[in-house]
Structure 1
């Protein structure tokens, strides 16, 4: 049985969660993600996070992240700050991860997890630079109160469109959605804070992966 067309896609859910949470508790960078049965984060939806930073995290620094799903699940808290997470891991791992964050101008991080029957199924990372400062105790309390909204969104099922986008990187998915909405290259560059040459490179990779030769074909293949 096919999924009803009215179901929101995971990317849309992620962007809605990011918009709702950051309106109440500001953040510099954000990432919404699903959590698989092995407690691994996947299917990321990014906000202002540079692709090189995200790829470096996945390839080299994820293992040192004190806020990755399995650590948050072990802590037994739906909202966990970087300080709380680092208190539960060794000094060496914390120093490596802090070095990664500092190189990208990140001062503080908070993780919010959504659960289904006690198992974490989705998460939201909020990252701040020095301009916004550390998350306060009051803000952590606010995020804890909002966690139920994340849970409601995370329980929504995937649509068929998400399956078609599963082979794309988070940035490629963002560009695909913008193409669906009719955005041109300049609009995509502005919305995602990318250079035009970078947008063109992503488009070439998108066309190759999907096996199409034009924007119209790509939108038709992925979304219709």
Structure 2
């Protein structure tokens, strides 16, 4: 299974080939509708640090703001139109300071729940995103949603990171429906060893069954 980092990099490369951008970022969206776990492409670290430290609250394209527009692909002008002119002016000053002339945000959701997003930025000397490019991004957005469904939920990521590499491997196989015999065969382990790993995995994550484990690590909701 691809890692979250691999999924992000593949999305960044695919979008860059079809709608080129000077800078881009892929991120997951947590339960509080905050962007997290950013993967940056050609973006200056200082710009991203300034954004996180001072300008994120003014961003008209942060996940909650994008959701408020009702659009899966949100150009900068649309986002700015949904907030006060004073906030838009301050955020526009930040973008100009870093030579950015246009931004578009693509949000991926599953059953209305936002999972991930992708930011595309154009710099001074480049053309803003055209209507044709925005149409292409709308077409690509469904592919981003498919990719995002392979990500663990942001609030479950911490639990995954506490597992050993072997435990993560077992958890991913369980998510895909593997039985104990499947685990033994694919991991070249004895059934007794598989059962021991499962006991440790259940204890570490505070669950009592496979369905609870999958919900805890991958669905971020109580199992039914």
Q: TM-score of the superposition, structure 1-length normalised?
A: 0.68
Task: List structure 1 runs of 4+ shifted beyond 6 angstroms.
Answer: none
Higher relative contact order structure (alpha carbons within 8 Å, sequence separation ≥ 6):
1
Deviation of 1:163 after TM superposition, in Å, equals: 2.5
Asked if the contact 1:121–1:154 (Cα under 8 Å) also holds between the matched residues in 2, the reply is yes
1:113-192 paired onto structure 2 within 5 Å: 113-158=107-152, 163=161
Aligned partner of 2:17 in structure 1 is 23
Deviation of 1:119 after TM superposition, in Å, equals: 1.3
Aligned partner of 2:95 in structure 1 is 101
Distance 1:102 1:116 in 2: 34
Distance 2:151 2:5 in 1: 12
| Structure 2 alignment gaps of length 5 or more | 163-224
Distance 1:92 1:137 in 2: 27
| Structure 1 alignment gaps of length 5 or more | 1-6, 165-224
1:32 aligns with 2:26: yes
RMSD: 1.7
SS at match of 1:66: coil
Deviation of 1:157 after TM superposition, in Å, equals: 3.2
1:206-217 paired onto structure 2 within 5 Å: none
SS at match of 1:115: strand
Q: Determine which structure has more spread, i.e. the larger CA radius of gyration.
A: 2
